[in-house]
Amino acid sequence: MKRVSIVLTIMILLFSGCGGDKDRDGKPDAPKAQSGKPEKPAQEKSELPPRLQQAVKAGRISAEQARQIMARTAGGGDKPLVRLGTAARGEIRTHLVLNGTVEPERSVDVYARLAAYVKEVVREEGSRVNNGDILARLDDTEISISHQQARIQLEQARLTLEEEKNNFQRNQELKENELISEMDFQASEARYRQARLEYENKTENFKNLDLQLNYTRIRAPVSGFVTQRLIEVGDRVTANQHVYTVEDFSPLLIRVFVPAADIGKLQSGMNAEISSDTLPGRAFTGRIKLINPRIDVQSGTVKVTIEVNDSSLTLKPGMFVEVNIVTRSRQDALIVPRTAVLYQRNQVLVFLFQDGKAVATPVTVGVTEDDRVEITDGLKEGDTIIVQGAEVLKDGAEVNVLK
């Protein structure tokens, strides 16, 4: 019996000493860390607050700035970091930005008036011409001969007419004195009328050939620049063939299409600023010349014509441009940065900085221009406001100012 008791005691002691899942205090061992990727910090898992999301969506701050703001405010009791600004007075304007293409005031196609060979090209593309300047000459050999013959025939007809006229006048006197018969007088009158008709016929024939001779010289119908030359020396052109294009660049025109809802903001004579990506840093001044009274049914827009005078000829027809029209201007407006203005539910807020705290202040906004906003009520000139970091603030929160 003693042996059995001793054996049982030894077995109990052995089993009690093999419990490896408890520490010295009798508590179970802590579970081992699982292998694999470490869990992401809680800050990375959390999403941006609604106000920050709205600020990013509205373009007031970037996504990176929003993450920086979250990082600054995630540190327990640390105060949010903000940047300050001042409400100041200045000029602010509203703009209507449109796009269009530069066009010449007039673009005239020049046509040959008769069939002939091209004898000489006088003006090339890019040449500055005045109304009536010769652009090209056509071969005029045959027409010149006919013109000379017509001139001689006209002179002969004129001499015959003068002779018959004198005879008729002399016969009138003889008839009054009853020195010639009625038959002779009528014959004299008929010859005079025939000579007059012949002269008129030769005159019209000469005019026609003179015109044909003039048509051999192709002329510019308007003042401007030659933008197309479609003939070469030796070509045979036909009547009504397009041979040149002349365009008038003074002034230049830009036709833009304005939404019908904005047309009431415009009126003839208003200034417009014209710029183009092809001319960086350059701006040109134009004015509204015409406003079409009709709304296009399909697009819901109104055609507006802008007139631009550019003596330097830097702006060129066909150039795509941006037209900026100032529709409203305030000379002494109270202005704050757009990042300082928060839109919450049905309220617009700006945070004032007072005694180290952010004070939410309801405001009324007016004109907005780029990244500036006019405040018409709620602030006064010189107020210190929070212009960066306001998206996560609450009214009365203590803040730290970025230097």
> To which CATH superfamily is domain 247-330 assigned?
Efflux pump adaptor protein, beta barrel domain (2.40.30.170)
User: Worst-scoring range by mean pLDDT, 105-119, 121-135, 171-185?
Assistant: 171-185
Query: How far apart are alpha carbons 75 and 77 in whole angstroms?
Result: 6
Write the CA distances from 168 to 76, 174, 191, 196, 241, integer angstroms.
Answer: 128, 10, 8, 12, 50
Domain span(s) for CATH 2.40.30.170 in the chain: 247-330
How do strand 320-337 and strand 372-377 relate by DSSP bridges? Answer: antiparallel
* 113-142: average pLDDT: 95
- Tokens 């059995």 belong to 4
Measure the CA angle with vertex 24, ends 21 and 28; round to 5°. 30
Distance from C-alpha of 373 to C-alpha of 379, rounded to nearest angstrom: 12
Q: What is the pTM of this model?
A: 0.62
Nearest to 302 by CA among 293, 311, 312: 293
DSSP one-letter code for 338:
G
Q: What is the pLDDT of residues 348-375, one digit of tens each?
A: 999 999 988 999 999 999 888 888 999 9
271-328: pLDDT as tens digits: 999 999 999 999 999 999 999 999 999 999 999 999 999 988 899 999 999 999 988 8
For residue 293, give the 3-state DSSP assignment: coil
Ranges in the chain annotated CATH 2.40.420.20: 63-91+331-401
* Model pLDDT, residue 391: 84
- In this prediction, residue 73 has a pLDDT band, given cuts at 50, 70 and 90, of low
- For 269, phi then psi, to 5°, come to 95, -15
CATH code of domain 63-91+331-401: 2.40.420.20
Cβ-contact 202, 150 below 8 angstroms = yes
Q: Which amino acid does the sequence have at 37?
A: K
Please state, in angstroms and rounded to a whole number, the distance separating the CA atoms of residues 243 and 220: 11
